[in-house]
Amino acid sequence: MEAVFRLLIAEDEEATARLLKTFLEKAGYQTTSVSNGGAALEAITGPTPPDLVLLDLMMPVMTGMEVLERVKSQGQVDPVVILLTGMDDGQTRVQALSMGADDYVTKPFHPKELLARVKTHLRLKRLRDDQQLRNQQLEELNARIQRGFHQALRTMSEVIETFEDDLGGHCRRVAELARELSTNMGLEAEVVNQIDYAARLMDLGLIGVPREIAKKHEKAMTGGEWQLYRHHPELGAEIVRNVEGLDEAARFIRHHHERYGGGGFPDDLAGEKIPVGSRVIAVATKFDHLMEEARKAGDEHPEQVLFNLLKERRTNLDPKIVEVLRRKVLPARDVPIHERRLSLPELQEGMRLSRDVKTVDGRLLLATGVLLTGPYIAKLINHDRILPIVHDIFVHAPQ
């Protein structure tokens, strides 16, 4: 059954109020009557606001216009407002409508005409409310889809981490750097997002390659092993393409092993024919590898890393993107050199891990490069209670 509309009659002339009540209730509406502006405002902003208000202009305590002004400025409720007045002057009419009244009726009114107007306005209000409800439902649905999408991304990243501890950390660091690079290149926000997703998932296809092969250096692989390994960008792209909203990321994944000067795989593309996201990821990946090598060798000097990176311009990497890294990203990054050894209680938000944090059985909790936030620190403390982290934690110490 359709809900009965609630109408508020705000009218101080008793005879008019009675007449309104009689014919509106006869038409099937539920009515409440008040005889001054203060009571009208209270009823409109109370716990059960009316759907429509017949608001007399001249009333004690507060005029209809003042009530209207207060209701509109509070913006909490949005009933239909029909102003009633004895004056038929154009200026008042314009003022009332410009303040947000929906209609204006001059007394004495014809009940049938007033009823027709009430019906029309309530029909419009119902349409408006339905539309609002549908918009709200759409927003909720959209938020749910987004949550599901990010959950799918997280799950796929976790698959990569279970394949190899360091791979997850590497992909995350590359994703952060790729995001910085592409933002500095002025790429559109959606493209930047797709590059970020692609970087996190680029090696998902390695799940189709035996672990001992994937760990080998490319040059140490046998012919058969190489054939298996070189298939991983295509396999990763195929998996990711099945997730709605990741088409572009899948394309970037497919080409993440192409070389700027040609000779890469799987399609031997070169130069600008390689999708921009793949070129960005290639620069970020190479930089991260060089930083890791330098770190392992105890030499964490960004200038040397940059020098090695510059050697790869044109052959493997897009020189324009290397320049963005050199001129814009690295100067803005506080690339630290020294480490600090800390115990769990000494950790603070904003510190960046310089080594992996693992549990006693070697399971990776947080990877090198992660920026510590409150939830991350809480996660470590929580894990430490269940399964102790036996080693100290290393963070970069800004100079």
Q: Which residues bind Fe ion (CB under 5 A)?
A: 203
Q: Which residue is nearest to Fe ion (CB)?
A: 203
CB of 272 vs Fe ion, minimal distance in Å: 21
Tell me which DSSP letter residue 344 carries.
Answer: G
Contacts of 320 (CB under 8 A, 6+ apart): none
Question: What's the angle, vertex CA 33, arms to CA 32 and CA 38, rounded to 5?
Answer: 115
Alpha helices in 205-254 (DSSP H): 211-214, 223-229, 232-241, 247-254
Looking at the Cβ atoms of 51 and 203, the one nearer to Fe ion is 203
CB of 213 vs Fe ion, minimal distance in Å: 13
Residue with tokens 């203060």: 38
Using CA atoms, how far apart are residues 395 and 393, in angstroms rounded to an integer? 7
Q: How far is CA 355 from CA 160, 303, 358, 361, in A?
A: 19, 21, 10, 16
Looking at the Cβ atoms of 103 and 203, the one nearer to Fe ion is 203
Question: What's the angle, vertex CA 10, arms to CA 9 and CA 13, rounded to 5?
Answer: 100
CB of 236 vs Fe ion, minimal distance in Å: 8
CB of 361 vs Fe ion, minimal distance in Å: 28
Q: How far is CA 266 from CA 77, 99, 233, 318, in A?
A: 61, 66, 7, 18
CB of 202 vs Fe ion, minimal distance in Å: 5
CB of 256 vs Fe ion, minimal distance in Å: 6
Using CA atoms, how far apart are residues 59 and 33, in angstroms rounded to an integer? 13
Q: Which residues is 84 bridged to in the sheet? A: 56, 105
**Are 137 and 162 within 8 A, CB to CB?**
no
Exposed/middle/buried for residue 361 (C-beta within 10 Å: 0-12, 13-18, 19+): exposed
Whats the size of the chain, residue-wise? 399
Looking at the Cβ atoms of 203 and 312, the one nearer to Fe ion is 203
CB of 363 vs Fe ion, minimal distance in Å: 23
Tell me which DSSP letter residue 105 carries.
Answer: E
CB of 255 vs Fe ion, minimal distance in Å: 11
Question: Going along 41-185, which residue ranges are E strands?
Answer: 52-56, 80-85, 103-106
